[in-house]
Structure 1
């Protein structure tokens, strides 16, 4: 449970850091991927992980090429989900974009049930349902943001798919690859996302400012460890438990911290969502 808690705290930290920044998000993301890649390189060097590409038959089901391939795919989906999150915010509003991004956890949950038969207990099913309900309650503002069917059919759907598959690839790594190669996997995840985001910045000729680089460097640390601890959590609990708790828990932390440090007022539905989230986490654990 400690790994899930740490992953959730790291995930919430990313959102809170973005909250205090008005810098260009492509630049922030690029620098964040640089720092996350550097952390991965540090772990590779200190643990000598690069020397584990030659496996004995009893060491792993799948070799290093698979780890690299999955890492690259995950990095691509990470960046795609970010791009479509930005597009969804512009077209459909921040609330709906956030909700569809969070609900992407349904994909790894469904795949884990179908492929690996990771069935939740009755209490955990109740917790999962409450977690999803809390996510929807926090992010829906029907009086402020109205969405047409045309908007929903494209960007929000792709955000849901890309975000969900990004999380699913973390599960695939945890399921089949040796844990000693986790820094290598994360290096290719964040390294790929960095190269793609850097390319976008060059193509769009986006101005790089010091503030954006500083915020990006700060984001890079919790971003790396969010994935690091999430993979660890998946080793001890099923994906159907980890992903909804991870998502709902990060929302809870963001709401509480925003209330305490940023003075944000909570609507009645947000207060109810907080209580529902606490209950869902209790049932899921």
Structure 2
């Protein structure tokens, strides 16, 4: 349970630091760039000593790919590294977009609603797994999707005066891109070998860092020292979240880990927002958060 608690604290600290950085009118492109750079460096530590590239990997993947996709059989240890690198290109792009939108949504919609929508994004891999992997959802998961949809409707289509939510599209972005990022990880777990998960995460942050720095240079905005500091700091919990979740899963069943992780993060961030940042939510927004917590639990059962 200690690893699970650390994972909850990591995702909470990530959200809180984004909240603080947005309050200082930060350069989001710079924060995202140094966030990805920091996460990439930490990821490299976990794969230090492991071969990072070999052209023969791609030859092996070319020979196995069609059979593996059609039959659902895992790739060999010769082909999995190439699959990890290619999939990481897509995952890295999604990861960068997700980090940027998390900052944007935190600034425009507050931390409470942002973290809640982000965590209920678990419905995305649940739905896509049914479509692409033929997984049969449980009755609880179906109920969870319905409750999540209803709560989203409550937030999206209810006009409230002086609402903290000013950019609803960003809320959906945190939900979709966060959930789709999880689905890409699931694709690797489905076809790739566990041995090269660290390589997949390293290349994910490598490609997201490259994309982030290109976007930062194109925008050519002033970079403050605080942007670099906030970016480097947030990269640490961003990378540790996945590491400690994996460790938690080795000691605690998945059906306990994932609901507690999502609900724990939502509740802790909301508590900090109420006590520290004094974010004011309407009764309907609180009701929507409550429904999303219930939906998240159901989706992970």
| TM-score normalised to structure 2 length | 0.69
Q: 1:130 and 1:173 mapped to 2: Cα distance? A: 29
Contact 1:248 1:277 in 2 (8 A): no
Displacement after TM superposition at 1:111 (Å): 1.7
**Residue equivalent to 2:66:** none
Cα distance change, pair 85–41 in 1 and its aligned pair in 2 (3 A): closer
Cα distance change, pair 266–164 in 1 and its aligned pair in 2 (3 A): closer
Q: Which range moved further: 160-169 or 66-75?
A: 160-169
**Residue equivalent to 1:216:** 231
Cα distance change, pair 42–89 in 1 and its aligned pair in 2 (3 A): closer
Q: 2:247 and 2:131 mapped to 1: Cα distance? A: 22
Q: 2:242 and 2:179 mapped to 1: Cα distance? A: 14
Write out aligned runs for 1:80-229 (5 A).
80-82=97-99, 94=109, 98=114, 105-134=122-151, 137=154, 142-144=159-161, 162-229=177-244
1:35 aligns with 2:44: no
Displacement after TM superposition at 1:233 (Å): 7.8
Cα distance change, pair 105–272 in 1 and its aligned pair in 2 (3 A): same
**Residue equivalent to 1:72:** 89
1:256 aligns with 2:271: yes
Cα distance change, pair 114–245 in 1 and its aligned pair in 2 (3 A): farther
Number of residue-to-residue matches in the alignment: 273
Displacement after TM superposition at 1:7 (Å): 4.7
Q: Which range moved further: 273-282 or 61-70?
A: 273-282
Contact 1:78 1:166 in 2 (8 A): yes
Contact 1:30 1:197 in 2 (8 A): yes
| TM-score normalised to structure 1 length | 0.72
Displacement after TM superposition at 1:13 (Å): 2.6
Structure 1 unaligned spans of 5+: none
Contact 1:81 1:159 in 2 (8 A): yes
Q: 2:191 and 2:265 mapped to 1: Cα distance? A: 27
Contact 1:128 1:245 in 2 (8 A): no
Contact 1:135 1:251 in 2 (8 A): no
Displacement after TM superposition at 1:139 (Å): 6.8
Contact 1:249 1:277 in 2 (8 A): no
Q: 1:44 and 1:18 mapped to 2: Cα distance? A: 28
How big is each residue's C-alpha offset from its partner over 1:126-181, in whole Å with a ceiling of 9 and x where there is no partner?
34433454455567662257x9xxx99x9998877655433321111122222232
Q: Which range moved further: 25-34 or 133-142?
A: 133-142
Contact 2:122 2:296 in 1 (8 A): no
Contact 1:131 1:245 in 2 (8 A): no
Alignment root-mean-square deviation, CA:
4.3
Displacement after TM superposition at 1:79 (Å): 2.3
How big is each residue's C-alpha offset from its partner over 1:74-132, in whole Å with a ceiling of 9 and x where there is no partner?
11122244556778899xx648x958866754432222123334334323433443345
How big is each residue's C-alpha offset from its partner over 1:167-213, in whole Å with a ceiling of 9 and x where there is no partner?
32111112222223222111111111111111122222222211111
